[in-house]
Structure 1
């Protein structure tokens, strides 16, 4: 893909990005506590409807056929085909906010909390504390790597000392600092706000509140306010989702300025292109994007805050709301299941919803 990465040295400096704050809808604060030395045992429940009320932030189908759900404030749940088993900080999770769930090559399932990391080995849940801070600027990229946000909800702790991510290489967690210069407000600007994505060209991308950062094993590419020419009048980046579609396009969902589409050469504001700002529609808009996905037919889906979901078929967009069976006004995550179903994790009310081709119905 032409022009994807500009040659940049690790020590290059980026002008500070200032953001004015966040709306209440994007709050990532979570109530957490340190796990006790002897964690409580989780008990399976036969009720197959998730009991969560705070929202579904993450979904994973693991290699054993289990389905995992991460909530916004209430821990994680495991569906084994027969019942639901719930996990919280009392059962070994690092935090009750579960932003992302991954499975490593050994079959261990990892949970990225609002604070900290934990994993499940098929028998027990454990908070993972060991870290390697000796190679912060020595970035590497291997096919089987997993990547996680820093240990704090936002910002970084005294050991991390700089915004960055943890790379799990199959044996240990290695902290890697982003190649950015901090100025006023930078602690929040470069806090990771999305799950990482691995692109078809082999690069890995991270969404932070104020920048999308890509790394291809050699060079970095950074999409930020400065590059896009954004300022107080246009509003700044506030990234809440990253997604690569089947055609290799990178989609960047923002809470405020809408969704950006990057084909490797040009970045366009897709929301403005289709006249879907609230000022133009007078109602539901495509401005506050919290999740992006693609179905098996190549349609791109956008989950929003307060405006339901939108489907783009390559030519036009269709909006689905409560009238179409989607009661949640915020869609945290969109997941394409192994069965080819598209699942939507929502909040207010909380649940996992399935699109059946015409309307939405509750799945879990």
Structure 2
């Protein structure tokens, strides 16, 4: 019996050590997910980063302007391009569905990645749906420089046509430039020529007239944010930030004194002297952080933070050839990340910016 007891004890000890080693290994893997990239691989994109996303597993995804998408697992980067199955190398949006699939909105179709392969939905208008309220689904996508947007219902990619404003110019573009979901589950859709709101039943259009533009101002929306207080922030290329707070609509940039005259702005554009734009004028990205601050990413003047009272401008890094910000994203660790036009990603440290990727 003693010998059997010793053998049994030895087996139990081995199993215990095995389980301990497994738990230790699992903890080490968990730690690796947040390893600083300074001690790991580096992001090799040279074109701008148009989208940042952190998935439910803690991985970071970076969508490039020309070079596809990169996946960072905490240790190294893995790159996907058209050679791996993507329909296009320009990535405009990144989302995750309830099953953990990653959805990539490109400039030429939509791609779903299940961890092993891509399933592509080419930009076509075959599944045309006129009634917005007849569709379901939380995944919305850019649908080319057309007159509508895609909504995925779990099986089909439905193409929904925007109701154009009356007396619309036939050359006006309604390509989608931004999508933001509001507190009431409504969806705010930015296009170059108008802002649309879908509340689940009806869709409303906010054109230049409804957004209170002046005669010499042109609507050219590049971003939108529905914040936690129900305010709608609209970023434009040329006329700054428009704020819709309930029924009240104001030009936030003008109110803050951060909008240069349009004639000077247009002269700088024609002369390719965009560095002379020192205001909050060309806003391509808007984000709200966990403290309720609203952040704006300008094409020429870097980052701007509005804390509810004060608007503060930050230079991302003096060494950058351009301060243009394509996207602003707060991750699950409350790190605020800025996607830059040179292919780098910077993180706000509370006072200034450190290069993160």
Which category of TM-score, normalised to the shorter sequence, fits these structures? 0.7 to 0.9
* Structure 1 SS opposite 2:176: coil
Question: Aligned pair in 2 of structure 1 residues 269, 317: CA closer, same or farther (>3 Å)?
Answer: same
Question: Aligned pair in 2 of structure 1 residues 188, 62: CA closer, same or farther (>3 Å)?
Answer: farther
Tell me, yes or no, if the aligned pair for 1:131 and 1:173 is still in contact at 8 Å: no
Aligned residue pair count: 307
- Among residues 334, 343, 348, which one is paired with 1:350 in the alignment? 343
* Structure 2 SS opposite 1:306: coil
Match of 1:176 in 2: 160
Rounded to whole Å, the distance in 2 between the matches of 1:176 and 1:341 is 35
Rounded to whole Å, the distance in 2 between the matches of 1:77 and 1:304 is 24
Match of 1:291 in 2: 285
Match of 1:315 in 2: 309
Match of 2:10 in 1: none
By relative contact order (CA 8 Å, sep 6+), the higher-ranking structure is 1
List runs of 5+ in structure 2 lacking aligned partners: 1-38, 266-275
* Structure 2 SS opposite 1:272: helix
Match of 1:55 in 2: 48
Tell me, yes or no, if the aligned pair for 1:322 and 1:328 is still in contact at 8 Å: no
Question: Aligned pair in 2 of structure 1 residues 283, 225: CA closer, same or farther (>3 Å)?
Answer: closer
Large movers: runs of 4+ above 6 Å: 324-327
Give the TM-score taking structure 2 as reference length: 0.80
**CA deviation digits over 1:205-258, x for unaligned, max 9?**
11000111001112222111122343551x211111111222111100001000
Task: Give 1:198 deviation, angstroms.
Answer: 1.3
* Structure 1 SS opposite 2:219: coil
Task: Give 1:134 deviation, angstroms.
Answer: 4.8
- Among residues 195, 198, 201, which one is paired with 1:212 in the alignment? 195
Tell me, yes or no, if the aligned pair for 1:47 and 1:84 is still in contact at 8 Å: no
Tell me, yes or no, if the aligned pair for 1:291 and 1:334 is still in contact at 8 Å: yes
Write the mapping of 1:158-237 to structure 2, written as runs, cut at 5 A: 163-180=147-164, 185-186=169-170, 188-194=172-178, 196-230=179-213, 232-233=215-216, 235-237=217-219
Match of 1:251 in 2: 233
Tell me, yes or no, if the aligned pair for 2:136 and 2:152 is still in contact at 8 Å: no
Task: Give 1:64 deviation, angstroms.
Answer: 2.1
Tell me if 1:103 matches 2:87. no
Tell me if 1:331 matches 2:315. no
* Structure 2 SS opposite 1:123: coil
Rounded to whole Å, the distance in 2 between the matches of 1:175 and 1:142 is 10
Task: Give 1:186 deviation, angstroms.
Answer: 4.0
Question: Aligned pair in 2 of structure 1 residues 236, 199: CA closer, same or farther (>3 Å)?
Answer: same
**CA deviation digits over 1:249-303, x for unaligned, max 9?**
1100001000011112111100000110134998510011000112222111110
Aligned residues: CA RMSD: 2.5
Task: Give 1:189 deviation, angstroms.
Answer: 2.6
- Among residues 139, 145, 150, which one is paired with 2:138 in the alignment? 145
Task: Give 1:75 deviation, angstroms.
Answer: 0.5
Tell me if 1:86 matches 2:79. yes
* Structure 2 SS opposite 1:314: coil
Task: Give 1:101 deviation, angstroms.
Answer: 0.5
Question: Aligned pair in 2 of structure 1 residues 102, 186: CA closer, same or farther (>3 Å)?
Answer: farther
* Structure 2 SS opposite 1:227: coil
Task: Give 1:126 deviation, angstroms.
Answer: 3.3
Rounded to whole Å, the distance in 2 between the matches of 1:231 and 1:131 is 36
Say which one has the larger Rg: 2
Tell me, yes or no, if the aligned pair for 1:104 and 1:144 is still in contact at 8 Å: no
* Structure 1 SS opposite 2:253: helix
